[in-house]
Amino acid sequence: MLDKKIGILGGGQLGKMMCQAASKWNLNVSCLEASHDCPAAKACNQIELGSFKIHEDVLRFGQSKDIITIEIESVDLVALQDLEKEGKTVYPQARVIEIIQDKGKQKEFYKKQKLASSDFKLLESASEIKQQILDGHLTIPFVQKIRKGGYDGRGVLVVRSLTDLENLLEGPSVIENLVDIDKEISVIVARNPQGEVRAFPTVEMEFNPKANLVEFLLSPARISKKQEAESVELATRLITQLDMVGLLAVEIFISKSGDVLINEAAPRAHNSGHHTIEASYTSQYEQLLRAITDLPLGDPASISPAVMINLLGAEGHTGPAIYQGFEDVISIPGVNVHLYGKKETKPYRKMGHITVLASNLDEAIEKANLVKQKISITA
Ligand code: ADP
């Protein structure tokens, strides 16, 4: 298992942290990325130049590997299907990536498999949405999501009033009931080829309302034992019913009335699991490597309460990154700074993250607020 050649499609920060975990056991990992100047370059055995969106690049890259995995789901699917036909191991499997790439197929899967998620319908265009409203088949409020290609909230529109209809997105969409959200949480589960499943404890996500990016992530989530158990069960059922091997991050809404509903899932390492590097017995990155190399899964339990802060490029700054307050912040006990090595900062670009550990969550939140005041990324 330890001598298999692992290929990751993508060499961003998630790829980098996978490579860092791989280095613990000297695993052989290469990334397919457009430039040698990518975050993973400093951590992996090699960067192979190419695009994970181009069929022949993915095919060529995969043919020289034993196991192919992803750090992003917008990859060329047909190449992965072709690699599977050639007998290569692709984890997560191409059929899982196919479902995840299309929010419509995801919702249909949840419905068919009786996994709790908000009610929805699939519509083809903005004009069809308007027509449905006129005909009384669709009522405001609702949420429109472009089926393919959206990320970090781009491709999602919450329609609360008639004037919001002017901003409808063009293209085949999922139209979902608007959930009255109390909390957004995430559960990361792993499954190996033996069918063994382990779930990380739930974490709570707090969004930056302007950028729609996770600003703070709290571990553990401040939810009831029952909601925790229901969330872990949903995520476990999802990865099992997908018959998937690898790591699955399941984003869940806890509604104000207490319902536990799947929002969406990502079959890869996830922003909501960064803290596991320092705050868990096994990190999400190591767990993913264990799963895809057919090793026993590690213990996902938490060692410490934690708050994770995404380090986003400051508003109004574009250019070579300057890390203001870096030395102040690394001087605080329990503060772990990760910089991704992206040369250019842009407003809200994910430039790094910080995991703050403390003996209880309130203390970690307090320390995280201090850290946030002290550090900024400017140009
Ligand atoms: P992305 O894949 O771009 O992150 P999401 O599907 O996670 O998109 O949606 C982005 C955000 O929009 C969610 O984090 C949530 O705050 C809000 N949202 C999405 N779906 C719903 C819904 N059905 N009801 C209420 N809010 C929603």
Between the CA of residue 128 and those of 107, 121, 135, 168, 302, what are the distances in Å?
Answer: 19, 12, 10, 11, 47
Q: Across residues 282-292, what is the average pLDDT?
A: 98
pLDDT of residue 367: 97
Residue 209 predicted with pLDDT over 80:
no
Q: Is the pLDDT of residue 44 over 90?
A: yes
How far is ligand 1, taken at its centre, from the CA of residue 162, in Å?
20
Q: Using a CB cutoff of 8 Å and minimum separation of 24, what contacts does 136-141 make?
A: 138/175, 140/164, 141/178
Report the alpha-carbon distance of residue 237 to residue 215 in Å, rounded. 28
Cα 51 to ligand 1 centre (Å): 28
* Centroid of ligand 1 to alpha carbon of 155 (angstroms): 10
As a whole number, mean pLDDT of residues 13-33 equals: 98
Fold annotation for 5-90? Rossmann fold (3.40.50)
Q: Which residue ranges does the chain devote to CATH 3.40.50.20? A: 5-90
Q: For the chain, where do the domains classified as CATH 3.30.1490.20 start and end?
A: 119-177
Q: Are 240 and 191 in contact (CB under 8 A)?
A: yes
Computed over every residue of the chain, the mean pLDDT equals 96
Q: Which CATH architecture has domain 181-378?
A: 2-Layer Sandwich (3.30)
Residue nearest to atom 11 of ligand 1 (CA): 153
Q: Is 344 helix (H, G, I), strand (E, B) or coil?
A: strand
Residue located via tokens 């090595």:
341
pLDDT at 171 over 90: yes
Dist. CA 169 → ligand 1 center (Å):
15
- Tens digits of residue pLDDT in 254-268: 999 999 999 999 999
- Over residues 133-149, the pLDDT tens digits come to 999 999 999 999 999 98
Give ligand 1 pocket residues (Cβ under 6 A). 118, 143, 145, 150-153, 155-156, 176, 178-179, 181, 184, 251, 263-264
Residue tagged 């009335």 (tokens):
257
Class of domain 119-177: alpha beta
Q: Where in the chain is the domain with CATH 3.30.470.20?
A: 181-378
